[in-house]
A and B are shown apart, each in its own frame.
Chain A
Amino acid sequence: MEAQMKRGFLEACVLAAISGEESYGYQIVKDVPASMGLTESTLYPLLKRLEKAGCITARSAEHNGRLRRYYRITDDGRARIEEFLAEWPSVREIYTYVEGAHHDAR
């Protein structure tokens, strides 16, 4: 997948993963579709970026005698998901065009 596009998809996936209840790093990695190939080393900078942009908030809470960081989506984060979803019609249009042209050519 092209890098920029993947970045956008990953961002939307991570926001979606915490859009319900708050979640933590490993849970997000497990929740996001495996085809995205999300790992901790991709997730960490992404979470930092989203937090800086005000799309998510983070808090530390105790779990089994250690601290775990929980992430929660903000209204700005939800707005970003909506922005992402609003892209779909144009993405589908491009997809249909490419598919059609490819089939016609064969």
Chain B
Amino acid sequence: MTRDEFLGRLGELLACLPAEQVEETKAFYAEAIADRMEDGMSEEEAVAAMGTPGEVAEATLDDLPAVPRAIAKTRRRSTALLWVLTIVGSPVWVPLLLAFAAVAVTVYVCIWVLALCVWVIAATLGAVGAASLALVAAGVAVGHVPYVIVMLGCGLAFIGVALLVGAGAWEASKRIARLSALWAGKAASPFWKGKGEKGGAAAHLAA
């Protein structure tokens, strides 16, 4: 097989991927073939060293997350088959997908409602503090000194507690935002891969 035949076939087999990714993959193998030929191999030998286009395509697709991989592999066999499976399987996958999305949204909403509760408590405490301070003004108008002192104390105390709770709410919201980004990544992992793939060599060894 010549280099161009190999790359052409590889392009066809990877047609399910975005064009830019296909070009990148082809460029990598074109470079590898050229380097082997520079090293003294014939074109035939250099291409053979890559393996068959089928194997190469398989290796590239294997690294995709589960759902796109299944779609890509089915589509590679036949686009018609993919459509038939998609349509025939829709009573199964549509409700599953909806249920999955509904659960994800519900959990997400619930944790934010919790955070919202803390914010409401903080706001309420703040409002009570502000009302007490307004009553201080009333006390001054009437000229009732003990009342003014008590209301001033209450108002300041309430505003202080409101600030504390507010700081807590802010911290909690930030954490939830971080956590939900993490969970969103996990939930989406069968569909596409995020950046933070960690663990690496040690994890593979340990596994």
Contacts and interface: CB of A to CB of B under 8 A. Distances in A.
Interface of A: 4-5, 7-9, 11-12, 15, 24-27, 29, 39-42, 44-45, 48-49, 52-55, 64, 66-69, 80-81, 83-84, 86-87, 91
B205 A25 contact: no
A30 B157 CA distance: 73
User: Which 8 pairs of residues, A with B, have the shortest CB-CB distance?
Assistant: A8-B204, A26-B35, A84-B201, A83-B202, A45-B63, A41-B59, A8-B205, A8-B201
Contacts, number: 98
Contacts of B25: 44
Contact of B204 (A11, A64, A86): A11
A2 B39 CA distance: 32
Given A4-B207, A41-B50, A49 B63 contact: yes
Given A24-B35, A48-B63, A5 B204 contact: yes
A4 B204 contact: yes
Nearest to B204: A8
B56 interface: yes
Interface residues of B, number: 33
B39 A80 contact: no
Interface in B161-207: 193, 195-198, 200-207
Contacts of B55: 41
Interface of B: 25, 27-29, 31-32, 34-36, 38-39, 49-51, 55-56, 59-60, 62-63, 193, 195-198, 200-207
Contacts of A5: 204-205
Contacts of B196: 53
A96 to B, nearest CB: 17
29 contacts: A4-B204, A8-B205, A24-B31, A24-B35, A25-B28, A25-B32, A25-B35, A26-B32, A26-B36, A39-B50, A40-B50, A40-B51, A41-B50, A41-B59, A41-B60, A44-B25, A44-B28, A44-B29, A49-B63, A52-B193, A52-B197, A54-B195, A69-B27, A80-B201, A84-B200, A84-B201, A87-B202, A87-B205, A91-B205
